[in-house]
A = this chain, B = another copy of it.
């Protein structure tokens, strides 16, 4: 089986949306990425850190999905990273109510020996130095490295972010962050500028408005599936990344054509994620559900040009 290495947070989230609120539930970018990628028959591992307040049942659940959890360090006497947020009525914006870094503050990722030759590496949203440290530990150059980041690191660790960006193949970033990073309003111009910073592929996530994939002069667009109700957008971007990277790791094909399919796979996975709180839908769905949703995407964008 092909090997996928994921670094990212494993955390507690407390979420409030117009439809309800949760106590502390399982969250974190690494969790969403790992669960989303778990549908693609991979040997995958999550590198992360939690405190000993982290329930064993969460770790057991991830392991039951085939995820190698041996590199999720459990710090004795430590507390797990905790985020609480409240979404506004339109679900397009949110306020962060609590951010407790806890054990994440001193996180030193340790890549397991048997993953130092992983085919694909997914660097979830973390300090760029933490992301770089994972790449430093690889003994075989990965076929593909994907990096996710956010405006926070552009504000407070831009030189480090620019440095790690030179070492990656694909960056995933949202539209506002692409504009901030590039200084360009047009996403076409923004992607062109981000190309020059390192990544050959630029994925711009637009939430409910879909995602764009740029590679030189080529561009591909995947819509978000129009849903009756978005229940909780938390983790949708990471779930998208997990499906994207999962498909690529499974197929070991890093052509633009295959990345297009991977973008659709990511969009399909994200469309499940938002249907319930947290990771719940990702723990319920089957491969059959995913296939059906892929077909829905085909129907959504398929048109006949012969009549024109």
Contact = CB atoms under 8 A, between A and B. Distances in A.
Interface of A: 89-90, 185-189, 206, 209-210, 212, 218-223, 226-230, 247, 251, 253, 257-258, 260-261, 263-265, 291, 294-295, 298-305, 307-308
Nearest to A264: B303
Contacts of A228: 186, 188-189
A220 B263 CA distance: 18
B188 A300 contact: no
A187 B299 CA distance: 18
Contacts of A188: 226-228
Nearest to A253: B307
Contacts of A230: 186
B304 A257 contact: yes
B226 A212 contact: yes
19 contacts: A187-B226, A188-B226, A188-B227, A188-B228, A189-B229, A209-B209, A212-B226, A219-B226, A220-B299, A220-B301, A247-B308, A257-B303, A260-B304, A261-B307, A261-B308, A264-B303, A265-B308, A298-B305, A301-B301
A24 B206 CA distance: 36
B265 A300 contact: no
Q: Top 9 closest A-B pairs, CB basis?
A: A260-B303, A209-B209, A221-B223, A301-B301, A188-B228, A188-B226, A221-B300, A261-B303, A264-B303
Given A308-B261, A308-B265, A308-B294, A223 B223 contact: yes
B206 A261 contact: no
A308 B247 CA distance: 7
Given A186-B229, A228-B186, A304 B223 contact: no
Contacts of A221: 223, 226, 300-301
A258 B308 CA distance: 9
Contacts of A210: 209-210, 223
Nearest to A184: B228
Given A89-B185, A247-B307, A260-B303, 15 more contacts: A90-B185, A188-B226, A189-B228, A206-B209, A212-B226, A219-B226, A220-B299, A220-B300, A247-B308, A257-B303, A258-B304, A260-B304, A261-B304, A261-B305, A261-B308
Contacts of A251: 307
Nearest to A228: B188
Nearest to A251: B307
Contact of A220 (B229, B265, B303): B303
